[in-house]
Copies of this chain bind each other. A is one copy, B any other.
């Protein structure tokens, strides 16, 4: 099965919600956990234990695991396996981007059946060009996995790069259009990351032909209700993603908070 088919099957069954696994210091504190690799493991695995059978997709943020070095990365391997065992999909948020053999090295780390940190999809960064991501595209397609390419992010600092003019269009639009073209020969495996807090995106994604990861629902100010207005005809491709809104108030409220968002996203379909 292709990534697009696997994602559709998962969200059809469980609802169109992605929960971010962001075991950052403030979250560990809210969970009454120590700021060490034990706390990291209890938080991250606890999220999957509580929600693994009701949420379709999880997005672990690699930075919070790398912050504990190789031991944190070992926890990430376990969390990715937990997500798989629960029948959910993982989008590993690593925002990697490099060229040639280095990009191939990242692809080998995260994509393909034998990757040690195998995820169902990863996020990638196009500063070195969408074309530089080719080794990851190839390996993702071969493994029935996906990519999410940063297009337009929610932070104001991103504008000088993402809204610069590349030919007739913005850089973000160039990324959107290049990925859409790639998808025609890549099993629609190449998705986008687009921030959920813009009233005006600065790029047109309404004709995009694969999944669109939209972080920032809840704590960062985005709402599910506003998505239909911003994304228009592409709303069917949007994967709303919430993190602190679900995990930020401690372990006890996890399930109730996920249920509330699952109810909201059900109104998108």
Residues of A within 8 A of B (CB): 22, 24-26, 61, 63-64, 66-74, 76-77, 93, 95-106, 108-110, 116-117, 125-132, 150, 153-162, 164-167, 170-171, 174-175, 178
- For A64, the chain B residues whose CB sits under 8 A away are 102, 105
Main secondary structure of the interface of A (DSSP, over half): helix
A127 to B166, Cβ gap below 8 A? no
- For A162, the chain B residues whose CB sits under 8 A away are 127, 129
- For A109, the chain B residues whose CB sits under 8 A away are 63, 66-69, 72
- For A67, the chain B residues whose CB sits under 8 A away are 105-106, 108-109, 116
Best-buried of A26, A61, A100, A155 by chain B (most CB within 10 Å): A155
Which 9 interchain pairs have the tightest Cβ spacing?
A: A69-B116, A129-B157, A63-B105, A131-B157, A164-B164, A70-B74, A164-B166, A70-B73, A66-B109
Residue among B61, B69, B117, B178 making CB contact with A77, cutoff 8 Å? B69
Q: How far is the CB of A69 from chain B (nearest CB, A)?
A: 3
A97 to B127, Cβ gap below 8 A? yes
A99 to B155, Cβ gap below 8 A? yes
